[in-house]
Structure 1
Amino acid sequence: MSATDKVFAGSIPGIYDEYLVPLIFADYAGDIAKRVAALSPSVLLETAAGTGAVTRAIAAALPGHVRYVVTDLNEPMLAIAAQRQGKDDRISWHQADAAALPFGDASFDVVCCQFGAMFFPDRVKGYAEAKRVLRPNGAFVFNVWDRIEDNVFANEATDVLGQMFPDDPPRFMARTPHGYHDKAVIKADLERAGFSDIAIETRPAISRAPTAEQVAFAYCQGTPLRSEIEARDASKLQAATDAVAEAIRIKHGSGPVEAKIQALVITARP
């Protein structure tokens, strides 16, 4: 993982929330919310919450008596999540590292995490922390992106930027968001962390946007991919965004666009 892969700062969090969340995260947030609600937790922890796509979906799905603790390592992302959610007495917000949680053992019925595990520097440690704070009959519910080839817009953006910067291709999307998809590795990491009952489901969906330009803007300027582009030539950020938009427009049309996305959804129990 590059040093910039976890940096969501400046204008990135706002663009991420406005454009990338509806593009690729909202569908999976609803899925995680249904799975969590079906477990009927009385106290719930979310790690790596980002700008709160899952938080909003879960808060809408859970009854009023549930206590909900929401965390993220990145304060600018968490601030947007709290602002978007508004006042909700069930929810408390904490800046926290998923690999060093500031909570006692056996504190939660469910721990959930949407598309955060790929960013853990030590996944086994992060999983072990989730297990530590779970009650004995609790569940850890999370998802990760499948391989980049099954996530069309991300793959197309990566290909275009590779052509634009052939000597040093920006590989953030392939390296990190889509770099942790081997089911055997995921299962082994969870087992090393102490989980024994592990289910991994492949879940395809469709990514949609009003225009190709919005897709390109979301990926090139609403993720750490922006930092990679600017590190190579800051003056080419808009040109890179335009090139990705043009490629998507050629393949998917000049009006509303859609393409396949795919993730793995995991439920693990001690």
Structure 2
Amino acid sequence: MLEADKEFAGSIPESYDRHMVPMIFEPYAVDLARRAASFSPSSVLETAAGTGVVARAMASRLAPDTRYVATDLNQAMLDYARSQQPSDSRVQWRQADALALPFEDASFDLVCCQFGAMFFPNRPAAYREVKRVLKPGGRLLFSVWDRIEENVFADEITTALAGIFPDDPPRFLARTPHGYHDKDIIRGDLADAGFSRVEIDTLAEESRAPSPHTVAVAYCQGTPLRSEIEARDSGKLDAATDHATSALAERHGTGEVSAKIQAHVIVAMA
């Protein structure tokens, strides 16, 4: 992972929440919230909370007196998340590094993280921090994307952009969001951090969007892929987005589009 892969700033948070969240994150947020509620936690920590899609999904499922702390490394993402959920006083928004959590030992019943572990530079260290702040018998509940070939739009956009930048193709999507999918590696990292029972479910969902252009804008302008494109040619962002749109339209048509997405959902016991 490159340092720029962690930068969600500028116009990215708003574009991310407008396009990426409904297209690929909401179905898994609903599933994660359902699983979290089934554990009846009294205190929940969310890491890599992004623009707050999981916190919003949790709102109607957790008990009114549940303590919920949502953290993210990127203050810009947290600011946007807070603006989308200003009335829920149960949620505390706090900037925090998942590798150095600013909480006391045994503070939470449940730690959840939707599609954030791929961005951790040292995953066993991050999991050790989670284990430290979990109460005995607490759970870590998190999700990661499966390999890029199982996530059609991301794969097709990556291939399309290689046609514009053949000498140095942008590989953010394959390298980071879809770069931590091996279940044996995930189990090994959790074991290194001291977690015992580990359960992994692989869930396929359908990604839907009003048009190929919506998909292209979501990935090319609503993720750090934008920075990767602009680093190669600052004037080619729109051209790259249009090229990705054309590639998607060739495969899926010009109207409403849908394609497979797939992720692993993991529960680990402290």
- Structure 1 and Structure 2 fold alike (TM over 0.5): yes
Query: Which amino acid counterpart does residue 201 of structure 2 have in structure 1?
Result: E
Query: Which amino acid counterpart does residue 12 of structure 1 have in structure 2?
Result: I
Once residues 248 and 60 of structure 1 are traced to their aligned partners in structure 2, the CA distance between those partners, rounded to angstroms, is 36
Two-structure CA RMSD over aligned residues (Å): 0.6
1:9 and 2:9 correspond = yes
Between the two proteins, the alignment pairs up a number of residues equal to 270
Q: Secondary structure, in 3 states, of the residue corresponding to 2:229?
A: helix
Match of 1:161 in 2: 161
- What percent identity do the matched residue pairs reach? 61
Once residues 17 and 60 of structure 1 are traced to their aligned partners in structure 2, the CA distance between those partners, rounded to angstroms, is 20
Could you list the per-position Cα deviations for residues 56-78 of structure 1 after superposition, in whole angstroms to 9, with x for gaps in the alignment? Answer: 00112112111111100100000
Q: Secondary structure, in 3 states, of the residue corresponding to 1:261?
A: strand
Match of 1:207 in 2: 207
Could you list the per-position Cα deviations for residues 134-172 of structure 1 after superposition, in whole angstroms to 9, with x for gaps in the alignment? Answer: 011111000000000000000000000011101000000
Once residues 104 and 205 of structure 2 are traced to their aligned partners in structure 1, the CA distance between those partners, rounded to angstroms, is 37
Could you list the per-position Cα deviations for residues 65-94 of structure 1 after superposition, in whole angstroms to 9, with x for gaps in the alignment? Answer: 111111001000001111101121211111
Query: Which amino acid counterpart does residue 126 of structure 1 have in structure 2?
Result: A
Q: Secondary structure, in 3 states, of the residue corresponding to 1:268?
A: strand
Q: Secondary structure, in 3 states, of the residue corresponding to 2:57?
A: helix
Once residues 230 and 60 of structure 1 are traced to their aligned partners in structure 2, the CA distance between those partners, rounded to angstroms, is 40
Q: Secondary structure, in 3 states, of the residue corresponding to 2:140?
A: strand
1:95 and 2:91 correspond = no
Once residues 59 and 46 of structure 1 are traced to their aligned partners in structure 2, the CA distance between those partners, rounded to angstroms, is 13
Once residues 155 and 91 of structure 1 are traced to their aligned partners in structure 2, the CA distance between those partners, rounded to angstroms, is 35
TM, length-normalised to structure 2: 0.99
TM, length-normalised to structure 1: 0.99
Once residues 244 and 31 of structure 2 are traced to their aligned partners in structure 1, the CA distance between those partners, rounded to angstroms, is 29
In the TM superposition, structure 1's runs of 4+ consecutive aligned residues that sit over 6 Å from their partners are: none
Query: Which amino acid counterpart does residue 266 of structure 1 have in structure 2?
Result: I
Match of 2:130 in 1: 130
Once residues 27 and 19 of structure 2 are traced to their aligned partners in structure 1, the CA distance between those partners, rounded to angstroms, is 14
Once residues 102 and 251 of structure 2 are traced to their aligned partners in structure 1, the CA distance between those partners, rounded to angstroms, is 47
Match of 1:269 in 2: 269
Match of 2:84 in 1: 84
Unaligned runs of 5+ in 1: none
Query: Which amino acid counterpart does residue 121 of structure 2 have in structure 1?
Result: P
Query: Which amino acid counterpart does residue 182 of structure 1 have in structure 2?
Result: D
1:70 and 2:104 correspond = no
Deviation, 1:11, is 0.6
Match of 1:39 in 2: 39
Once residues 207 and 183 of structure 2 are traced to their aligned partners in structure 1, the CA distance between those partners, rounded to angstroms, is 23
Unaligned runs of 5+ in 2: none
Q: Secondary structure, in 3 states, of the residue corresponding to 1:41?
A: coil
Once residues 86 and 3 of structure 2 are traced to their aligned partners in structure 1, the CA distance between those partners, rounded to angstroms, is 32
Match of 2:170 in 1: 170
Once residues 231 and 93 of structure 2 are traced to their aligned partners in structure 1, the CA distance between those partners, rounded to angstroms, is 33
Once residues 172 and 60 of structure 1 are traced to their aligned partners in structure 2, the CA distance between those partners, rounded to angstroms, is 34
1:250 and 2:250 correspond = yes
